[in-house]
Amino acid sequence: MSRGRVGDRVSGIRERIGRAATRSGRRPEDVLLVAVSKMQPIELLIEAREAGITVFGENYLQEAEGKIALLPDADWHFIGKLQGNKVKKAVSLFTCIQTVDSVRIAGEVSRRAVEAGTVVPVLIEVNLGCEWSKAGVDPAALPGMVEAVSGLPGLALRGLMAIPPAARDPDESRPHFARLRALLCEARRKAGGGERMTELSMGMSDDFETAIEEGATMVRIGTALFGDRAGRRP
Ligand SMILES: *Cc1c(COP(=O)(O)O)cnc(C)c1O
């Protein structure tokens, strides 16, 4: 990609986010753009940073560590599969962990955050019924998990995250986005005065406008900003 392309794409995406937010009765600044930079070269991240991107999303700890060292003034969200033995490192590197998917992992985040003297904002990843992916908490188990997790020290439960099943058309994902929003309302009640539990991380390159119309407060956008990724991983 030639220099400057990422900057143009950032403005194009921001306009589309703004219009979708307005359609859903919100302000453009109510939707956070998380630039998903996994498997993208650092040059493109620097371009994005210069174009005003403040938050990056990464899936792999080792890859992220090098990039974070080069762009330490940005916010970094972890959006990959979190293994128990990597939690300490994730807590030290990331400003938010979006993919907490078990009480065990939440407990480990809590323990490591307390050890480090910090409080980590987290989202619970929900499995909205995608057969191909086992990531995320079953919606039926969500209320119990929220109850177990919301009182933990060192961890601030801020909301929910999901990747709906693959779809050909963004409108196919709409009911999944609506469902995640309903689950958030229910979870907030469970958390007991969880007024800070407001985040809905949903929507990617192909469906972020639909997600915003259904209430997304964070969209995670990779290829629409950076182009195709260098390689594929499971
Ligand atoms: C890779 C990834 C994205 C970005 O997907 P695009 O289709 O490239 O926008 C968003 N969320 C998660 C969890 C991802 O792993």
Atom of ligand 1 nearest to the CA of 161: 13
Q: Which of 103-107, 166-170, 189-193 has the lowest mean pLDDT?
A: 189-193
Q: How far is the CA of 233 from the centre of ligand 1 (A)?
A: 12
Structure tokens at 29: 């600044």
Contact between 197 and 184 under an 8 Å Cβ cutoff? The reply is yes
Atom of ligand 1 nearest to the CA of 98: 13
Instruction: Please give the DSSP secondary-structure letter assigned to residue 137.
Output: B
Q: How far is the CA of 115 from the centre of ligand 1 (A)?
A: 31
**How far apart are the two ends of the chain, measured CA to CA in Å?**
25
Secondary structure of residue 215 in the 3-state scheme: coil
- Amino acid at the residue 119: V
Domain ranges of the chain: 5-225
Chain centroid, CA 22 distance in Å? 21
How far apart CA 3 and CA 47 sit, in angstroms, is 8
User: The pTM is what?
Assistant: 0.95
Which mutation among 59, 161, 209, 220 tests ligand 1's pocket best, with the greatest number of atoms within 8 A of CB?
A: 220
Q: Is the CB of 220 under 6 A from ligand 1?
A: yes
Q: Is the CB of 59 under 6 A from ligand 1?
A: yes
* Each residue's pLDDT tens digit, 123-146: 999 999 866 667 899 999 999 999
How far apart CA 24 and CA 47 sit, in angstroms, is 30
How far apart CA 126 and CA 85 sit, in angstroms, is 21
Q: What does the buried/exposed string (b/e) look like for 4-15 if buried means 16 or more CB atoms within 10 Å of the residue's CB?
A: eebeebbeebbe
Q: Is the CB of 79 under 6 A from ligand 1?
A: yes
The pLDDT of residue 231 is 63
* Residue in the structure block whose two tokens are 């407060």: 217
Neighbours of 86 (CB within 10 A): 17
- Average the pLDDT over 56-74 and give the result: 97
Q: Is the CB of 222 under 6 A from ligand 1?
A: yes
Q: Which of 13-22, 70-79, 129-138, 214-223 has the lowest mean pLDDT?
A: 129-138
Q: Is the CB of 204 under 6 A from ligand 1?
A: yes
Its CATH class, for the domain covering 5-225, is: alpha beta
Partners of 218 in beta bridges:
32, 201
- Average the pLDDT over 40-49 and give the result: 97
Instruction: Please give the DSSP secondary-structure letter assigned to residue 83.
Output: P
pLDDT grade for 234, boundaries at 50, 70 and 90: very low
% of the chain exceeding 70 in pLDDT: 94
- Average the pLDDT over 35-48 and give the result: 97
- Average the pLDDT over 39-67 and give the result: 97
* Each residue's pLDDT tens digit, 73-119: 999 999 999 999 999 999 999 999 999 999 999 999 999 999 999 99
The pLDDT of residue 201 is 98
Q: Is the CB of 36 under 6 A from ligand 1?
A: yes
How far apart CA 78 and CA 97 sit, in angstroms, is 5
- Nearest CA, atom 4, ligand 1: 222
- Nearest CA, atom 14, ligand 1: 79
The pLDDT of residue 193 is 63
Q: How far is the CA of 126 from the centre of ligand 1 (A)?
A: 15
How far apart CA 28 and CA 22 sit, in angstroms, is 7
